Amino acid sequence: LQIDPKWTDYQPPKFDPLNYVASGLTVAVGPGLTRTPAAGTAFIGGVAVSSTPAAKDFAANTDTYRDLLPDGNFIYVEVPAASKPPPLTANALRVSVVSTDAANIVQDRPLCSFSVPLWTPPGPMRIP
């Protein structure tokens, strides 16, 4: 028996080689509303931007949009949960939206292209 699954109606998003997250910049899901986003690197308009974000207290029952500026700082824009997205901060890359309930971070949904490794080989490759 061989199975060849296919998504017949799925259209993957197009990767933007000038505007994407190359590493990090995620927020961990779980209990509590205070998080320090992972340090990382993104490309904004083809220019590498490194960021080491500070801790953030996310508000309860909100969607918080995270816009990365070319200087490596984040602008956090909060709206009530399930509201329409706010306008993008000028010259920024909208990285993700963090959703909270009364006491937890329940989702960090990416909103831009991400370039992440799918697999890391266990060691050096040997070619016979």
Give residue-wise pLDDT tens across range 75-128: 999 999 999 999 999 999 999 999 999 999 999 999 999 997 776 666 665 655
What does the pLDDT read at residue 6? Answer: 64
Task: Report how far apart the first and last C-alpha atoms of the chain are (Å, whole number).
Answer: 33
User: Hey, how many other C-beta atoms are within 10 angstroms of the C-beta on 27?
Assistant: 21
Position 3 pLDDT exceeds 80: no
What does the pLDDT read at residue 80? Answer: 97
Q: Which two tokens stand for residue 116?
A: 């992440």
* Residue type at 114 in one-letter notation: F
pLDDT digits (tens, 9 = 90+) for 7-60: 566 666 789 999 999 999 999 999 999 999 999 999 999 999 999 999 999 999
CB 33 within 8 A of CB 106: no
What does the pLDDT read at residue 128? Answer: 58
Task: Give the position of tokens 């961990």.
Answer: 28
What does the pLDDT read at residue 117? Answer: 74
- Split at pLDDT 50, 70, 90, the class of 5 is low
Q: How far apart are CA 100 and CA 106, in angstroms?
A: 5
